Copies of this chain bind each other. A is one copy, B any other.
Amino acid sequence: MSDHPFDQAIALQPSGGDRMVGQTHPAYANMVGPYGGITAAVMLNAVLQHPQRLGDPLALTVNFAAAVAPGGFDITARPACTNRSTQHWVLELTQPDAQGQPAVVGTGTAVTAVARDTWASNDTPMPQVPSAAHTLRQQLGFSVEWVKRYDMRPCEGMLPSHWDGSGSSSLTRQWVRDDPPRPLDVAALTAMADVFYPRVWLRRAKLVPAGTVSFSVYIHADAATLAAVGERHLLVQAQAQAFHKGFFDQTAQLWSPDGDLLAVSHQLVYYKE
């Protein structure tokens, strides 16, 4: 196994049948529990490691039911339906409760599929922004551990420096790569789809409690395309569409530095006040 903290954080050991066991990693700690992107990546990794897997990940939905406590966890990845070229997965993340019984802390589904050559088109061109080399890395006054695991270079919509309620847009565009650098793969791409601080902070220029409830990623790139990105930065963008009674949604796009739309993502986020 690689020494990279990302590989350590998503490592799983088979535990019989569709079950695997993993461990939270301090390098990806968030304010409460781990970074959501690393939890989604380790749940995807349970599919990737499953001996019955058919094809590559296409769609992943992860719902964050409760904070993941530091320590061990179990993931069940069950192939519920296998067709000729697609496979449907049901995912569950559990940790022992106070009585030692498994309690659900995350649910999810995934779809994998065998790639087929077809007509293709990227209808969402990469926005025109300065290159990663010409964009400054974000320096934060505060910092939780997971933020240090990403080299983030915002071009637009950076974290407000004054929490004065003056916000008007929720759009962030930034370059991002793992820190230390690591060759891109589908697990790392999945984690990067959650790399944005809560849109409500930017939209309102106000710090309020917020946390992802439901997170989906749709993959538009094959393994060769991801491998060709290597350790270069991705350009990633996120924006909220509406804020309503304690929840907003976030639509996100992730491009290779060559302009390929590698993945899109959608999430629903809880916020207070």
Interface residues of A (CB under 8 A from B): 58-59, 61, 63, 65-66, 80-81, 83, 86, 88-90, 92, 103-105, 107-109, 111, 113, 115-124, 170, 203-204, 213-214, 216, 218, 220-222, 239-247, 249, 251, 253, 261, 264, 266, 268, 270-273
Q: Can you pick out 7 interface pairs between chain A and chain B where the beta carbons lie within 8 Å of each other? A: A59-B213, A61-B216, A86-B270, A113-B247, A121-B242, A216-B266, A218-B249
Known: A123-B203, A246-B118, A266-B266. A109 touches B61 (CB 8 A): yes
Give this chain's copy count: 2
In the assembled complex, which residues on chain B have CB atoms less than 8 Å from the CB atom of A63?
59, 88, 109, 111
Known: A220-B249, A242-B124, A242-B220. A108 touches B109 (CB 8 A): yes
Which of A65, A113, A204 has the most CB atoms of chain B within a 10 A radius of its CB?
Answer: A65
Known: A123-B242, A124-B241. 17 other contacts (CB 8 A): A58-B247, A61-B216, A66-B83, A81-B103, A81-B105, A88-B104, A109-B214, A111-B214, A113-B213, A119-B243, A121-B242, A124-B242, A214-B218, A220-B242, A221-B244, A222-B245, A241-B264
In the assembled complex, which residues on chain B have CB atoms less than 8 Å from the CB atom of A121?
203, 242-243
In the assembled complex, which residues on chain B have CB atoms less than 8 Å from the CB atom of A81?
65-66, 103-105, 107
Q: Is the CB of A107 within 8 A of B124?
A: no
- Bound complex: CA A267 to CA B250 (Å): 15
In the assembled complex, which residues on chain B have CB atoms less than 8 Å from the CB atom of A90?
90, 92, 107
The minimal Cβ–Cβ distance linking A259 to chain B, given in whole angstroms, is 11
The minimal Cβ–Cβ distance linking A270 to chain B, given in whole angstroms, is 8
Q: Is the CB of A268 within 8 A of B59?
A: yes
In the assembled complex, which residues on chain B have CB atoms less than 8 Å from the CB atom of A204?
119
Q: Is the CB of B241 within 8 A of A253?
A: yes
Q: Is the CB of A61 within 8 A of B214?
A: yes
- Bound complex: CA A95 to CA B61 (Å): 23
CB nearest neighbor in B for A87: B65
In the assembled complex, which residues on chain B have CB atoms less than 8 Å from the CB atom of A266?
216, 218, 251, 264, 266
Q: Is the CB of A107 within 8 A of B80?
A: yes
- Bound complex: CA A204 to CA B118 (Å): 12
List of 6 A-B pairs having minimum Cβ-Cβ separation, nearest first: A65-B81, A59-B214, A65-B88, A220-B244, A80-B104, A61-B61
In the assembled complex, which residues on chain B have CB atoms less than 8 Å from the CB atom of A244?
120, 122, 220-221
